[in-house]
Amino acid sequence: MDALFADIEKQIKALIEERNMLAQAQKKLHRDQSTLIREKARLCSKQQQAVTKIKTLIAQLKSIEQPT
């Protein structure tokens, strides 16, 4: 009977350890996701700035090309 309890206790400890490892992995995934969301927002902003700048340059080039 003691061997059965010892085996069950061992299994419970292993499950607790695995649960703790999974919890840590999940926290890391959430941190990584937050980092990626911020990076995406930063890159979208930079892209929009680049689009605006290119449109401005195109407008300037068109005004230079037009005969006065």
**pTM score, two decimals?**
0.70
Chain centroid to CA 27: 12
- Per residue in 10-29, pLDDT (tens digit) is 999 999 999 999 999 999 99
In the prediction, which pLDDT does 5 show? 95
Q: Which helix (H) or strand (E) holds 68?
A: none
Backbone dihedral region for residue 67 (phi beyond 0: left; psi -120 to 50: alpha; all else: beta): beta
Q: Percent helix, strand, coil in the chain (nearest 5)?
A: 95, 0, 5
Q: Check pLDDT > 90 for residue 9.
A: yes
Q: Give mean pLDDT, residues 40-54.
A: 99
In the prediction, which pLDDT does 65 show? 87
In the prediction, which pLDDT does 41 show? 99
CA distance 42 to 59: 26
In the prediction, which pLDDT does 68 show? 61
